Amino acid sequence: MDVEFWVQSPRLLSRNVKFLRFSKKMAERKWAVVDVSVDGNNGDEQQSNGTSYAGYRLLPSGCLMEDMSGGFCKVTWVVHGEYLESTVPELFKQFFRSGQAFGACRWLRSLQRQCEYMAVLGSSHIPSSSSSSSAISPLGKRGVLELARRMKESFYAAVSGPVTIASTNIVDQWCVSSGTGAERVDAAVRMVTWNCAEIMPGEPAITVLSATATVRLPGTPPLRVFEYICNSQRRGEWDNFVNGGPVEEVVADGSHGTNSNDMLILQQSSTDASGSLVVYSLVEENVMRGIMGGADSSIFLLPSGFAILPDGHGKAHYTAVSSSSSAPNNGEGALLTVASLGMLSSSPSGGPAARSFDDAGEHLCNMIKKIRDAVGANNVIMA
């Protein structure tokens, strides 16, 4: 079975963790669900291509659910797990030690997000922008939500999946920089080329370049970073797709912004105390309008996006419900992962064009620099 651990470095572990599940009705209106790993012994797991993963094992863990009537349910979640710290990159060690990487709050928020998704999917209300004249049918709403879900899954697969496939070509990390002097930002960008059909079954067999970089922004609240990235009026500061201008939200749950090339941006975002995610992809406007009208949503996307985690250096806060930008900063910084996917161009000799790697690295580094400047981060520490 698939567990959405949502760890932001594909070098830490795979998303796929096999476990056994036991569920039982304990009493009237009370249920228990218990999971335990059946593989992933503590220590490095050797993959078929020789790649090692940090070992993580889920010890007996689970939740107790109680029907409270009136449409409410009380959920108590307990997590026991262990990992091999020597395999965790230095940048993530404090995040792991704080208990936020695999804590119960993360599981609760994952459950809450799924419940919210199912509620929107089954409701008759169609969220839309009051400034938009775009119409979306009930079938179109389902299609848009399904497309956004697949886009997010493709993003996870692209960031975490390639290193588990034997035929992928893992390129050594490239150190790139943007700016000079005190304004300079350095980032280690991990490049991977892979066949799309092997990572995402059912998709076309094209060669894709995945570029990923993670940096730490000490003392910068993760929510501040998230709110800047989601600010439609300032999107043009970091997103080359919109040519420096603002975007207009068309549909609220998976936003679409127009640009000058008859394209829309499909975006899905979520945030809470355990972390934030922003995933987006370009979609042809006529295709998106068709999906909103009820047409087939099975289209191919190459998503890009951001994952924002607390760095674990602040005072512990274990609220699983929500975060607020008005909350006082507890000294916590942000771990920012930026990922970009694109089709890999070929050189005249038939191999991948070196310029494609340079452009991808420079693009990510420029984005990190613009985000750093916008959120007022004093320092950027690369992985």
Q: What is the pLDDT of residues 36-81, one digit of tens each?
A: 988 654 444 444 444 444 477 889 999 999 999 888 999 999 999 8
Structure tokens at 58: 């889920």
Indicate whether 264 pLDDT > 80: yes
Indicate whether 373 pLDDT > 60: yes
pLDDT of residue 217: 94
Structure tokens at 160: 């975490």
pLDDT of residue 320: 45
3 state DSSP class of 288: helix
pLDDT of residue 382: 81
Q: What is the pLDDT of residues 202-220, one digit of tens each?
A: 777 788 888 888 999 999 9
Indicate whether 164 pLDDT > 70: no
- Pick from 246, 245, 242, 304: nearest CA to 278: 304
- Pick from 185, 156, 200, 132: nearest CA to 368: 185
CA atoms within 13 A on the CB side of 54: 20
Q: What is the pLDDT of residues 9-45, one digit of tens each?
A: 223 334 456 778 999 999 999 999 999 988 654 444 4
* Interior angle at CA 51, CA 347 and CA 100, nearest 5: 110
Task: Give the rounded distance of the alpha carbon of 182 from its chain centre.
Answer: 30
Q: For residues 95-109, give the mean pLDDT.
A: 88
Q: What is the pLDDT of residues 274-314, one digit of tens each?
A: 899 999 999 988 888 888 888 888 888 889 999 999 999 87
Supply φ then ψ for residue 273, to 5 degrees.
-65, -20
Structure tokens at 141: 């709403």
Indicate whether 83 pLDDT > 80: yes
pLDDT of residue 343: 83
pLDDT of residue 352: 62
| Measured torsion, CA atoms of residues 169, 173, 179, 182, in degrees rounded to the nearest 10 | 170
pLDDT of residue 322: 45
Helix orientation angle between 104-122 and 138-160, rounded to the nearest 10 degrees: 150
Highest mean pLDDT (candidates 98-112, 158-172, 198-212, 342-356): 98-112
How far apart are alpha carbons 335 and 332 in whole angstroms?
10
What does the DSSP 8-state code read for residue 273? T
pLDDT of residue 191: 82
Structure tokens at 192: 């991977």
Instruction: With cut-offs at 50, 70 and 90, classify the pLDDT of residue 190.
Output: confident
Alpha carbon separation from 37 to 18, 106, 107, 211, 276 (Å, rounded):
6, 18, 15, 31, 26
Q: For residues 231-247, give the mean pLDDT.
A: 83
Supply the Cα-derived Rg of the chain in whole angstroms. Answer: 21
* Interior angle at CA 377, CA 376 and CA 381, nearest 5: 165
Indicate whether 163 pLDDT > 60: no
Task: Give the rounded distance of the alpha carbon of 307 from its chain centre.
Answer: 5
How far apart are alpha carbons 351 and 372 in whole angstroms?
35
How far apart are alpha carbons 96 and 16 in whole angstroms?
19
Q: For residues 217-238, give the mean pLDDT.
A: 93
pLDDT of residue 204: 75
Residue 66 pairs in a beta bridge with 30, 74
